[in-house]
Amino acid sequence: MVVCRAMIVHSEGAGDAGGSSLRLVTQPDHAHFSGELLGLWRTDGLPDHLRRAEILFAGREHDNGWREADAAPRWDAGAPGGGRPHDFISMPRAERIAIWERGTARFAGSHPYAALLITRHAQTLHHDHRGDPDPDWRDFFAYLDELESGLFTADAIGGREVTAAEVTADYRFVDLADLASLAVCAQWDEPFERHGLRGFFRDGTLHLDPFPLAGATAFAIPCRRIPGRPYRGDADLGGELAAARWEELRVRVAPL
């Protein structure tokens, strides 16, 4: 599995022409599935949660910074086996930082609490770079810290400001839904566990325990397929994507 500029890319077996193919799910579509999961979440007090609407909004929009990258997917000339979509590791640092600065700021005015949870997500994803001597990373974390501080000050739900402990507890929902969605979109082979939730994806079904939904539920995630061949550049990759028809990745979520 590789994650490219705005896509989660899964290599599949023989395609229609007898070769391999790449199935692509955009990061925003992956995040939308996260939001759908949270919308049906029936455990951990979420149905009656004071901040439920903002938690669900953050689940749907936690990857909103990738929207612009969808319009012009980039190609990695140095990828093994020839030009392929950029993966998350090979993506230039400046582009990665720009995506997350954009994504954390977009809803700071209209949905400050959701923006606070998205900022916490950015902090969590990039925590390995905190303390990095590179000035770009230093500036990025200074920006996130300042934004988070401002959102704490700006936000009041139910007539009071939230505490750091409440933000940590609420972010857990976003983190779990993100993890479960990634397991599906990237077709993970290995089981996962986080915050007391265990799961694995197999044969089109995401199994979770303890099961957070009211019952087994089916979902459809938009995706596209392109040939798993070396690409000659951004235009070649973009042309193949433009010609690819939209399909649905169907998934069932059921108890483990």
Give which of 228, 221, 237, 229 is closest to 185, Cα–Cα.
221
Q: Cβ contacts of residue 158 below 8 Å, gap of 6+? A: 50, 51
Q: Cβ contacts of residue 20 below 8 Å, gap of 6+? A: 11, 12, 13, 14, 227, 228
Kindly list the domain boundaries of the chain, sorted by start residue: 2-255
* Whole-number pLDDT of residue 81: 56
**Host H or E run for residue 197:** strand 197-202
* Whole-number pLDDT of residue 89: 54
List, for the chain, all residue ranges whose pLDDT scores fall below the cut of 70: 1-6, 13-19, 70-91, 155-156, 158-159
Give which of 84, 25, 88 is closest to 237, Cα–Cα.
84
DSSP class of residue 41 equals B
* Whole-number pLDDT of residue 205: 98
Mean pLDDT of the chain, nearest integer: 88
- Strand order across the 7-14 sheet: 2-3, 7-14, 20-26, 217-227, 247-255, 205-209, 197-202, 192-194
User: Tens digits of per-residue pLDDT, 209-236?
Assistant: 999 999 999 999 999 999 988 888 888 8
Q: How far apart are CA 230 and CA 23, in angstroms?
A: 15
Give which of 55, 178, 61, 161 is closest to 125, Cα–Cα.
178
Q: Cβ contacts of residue 70 below 8 Å, gap of 6+? A: 6, 7, 26, 27, 28
User: Tens digits of per-residue pLDDT, 173-185?
Assistant: 999 999 999 999 9
